[in-house]
């Protein structure tokens, strides 16, 4: 049940992110060829954004957060070669952890991880 609730929270925030949030600090970055992965956050929400994937190109998005059921999606970049999703890092009974994000396409492979702590205020 707890894993299901975590998955529901992840899917709820899976709506496409329109743009990077300018005032959020960068939590993690990765680069490969002309591709870049940037993870920003405000202490409660995280924005995971990749660019340079190629116009409309197919890619794979994977996210792991401890013992939670991993997210493993086939995705498609937008017309500008970008992909972005919001995520709420959370695990039942845990005060924090590390999230791993991997985005791979035909032209690049991006991987980054970032620590999180439960938001308390």
pLDDT score for 28 = 97
Query: Residue 16 — very low, low, confident or very high, per pLDDT cuts 50/70/90?
Result: very low
- For residue 69, pLDDT over 50 is answered with yes
For 8-45, the three-class secondary structure string (H helix, E strand, C coil) is HHHHHCCCECCCCCCCCCEEEEEEECCEEEEEEECCCC
Domain 2-117 is found in CATH 2.60.40.3080: yes
Centre a 10 Å sphere on the Cβ of residue 84 and count the other Cβ atoms it contains: 18
Query: Residue 52 — very low, low, confident or very high, per pLDDT cuts 50/70/90?
Result: very high
- For residue 75, pLDDT over 70 is answered with yes
Q: How far apart are CA 74 and CA 32, in angstroms?
A: 19
Centre a 10 Å sphere on the Cβ of residue 39 and count the other Cβ atoms it contains: 22
> In whole numbers, what is the pLDDT of the chain averaged over residues?
86
Q: How far apart are CA 44 and CA 50, in angstroms?
A: 20
pLDDT score for 7 = 46
pTM of this structure: 0.81
Query: Residue 121 — very low, low, confident or very high, per pLDDT cuts 50/70/90?
Result: low
Task: Give the residue, 77 or 18, on which the prediction is more confident.
Answer: 77
Q: Is 81 left (phi over 0), alpha (psi -120 to 50) or beta?
A: left
Q: How far apart are CA 113 and CA 121, in angstroms?
A: 24
pLDDT score for 62 = 98
Extract the tokens encoding 27: 């939590």
* Beta-bridge mates of residue 36: 31, 51
- For residue 118, pLDDT over 50 is answered with yes
């Amino acid at each position: 049940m707890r894993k299901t609730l975590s998955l529901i929270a992840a899917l709820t925030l899976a709506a496409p992110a329109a743009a990077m949030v300018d005032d959020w600090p960068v939590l993690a970055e990765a680069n490969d060829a002309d591709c870049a992965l940037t993870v920003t956050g405000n202490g409660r929400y995280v924005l995971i954004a990749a660019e340079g994937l190629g116009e409309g190109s197919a890619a794979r998005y994977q996210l792991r957060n401890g013992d939670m059921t991993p997210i493993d999606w086939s995705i498609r970049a937008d017309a500008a070669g970008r992909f972005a999703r919001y995520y709420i890092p959370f695990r039942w009974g845990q005060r924090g952890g590390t999230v791993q994000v991997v985005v791979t396409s035909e032209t690049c492979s991006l991987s980054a991880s970032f620590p999180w702590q439960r938001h308390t205020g």
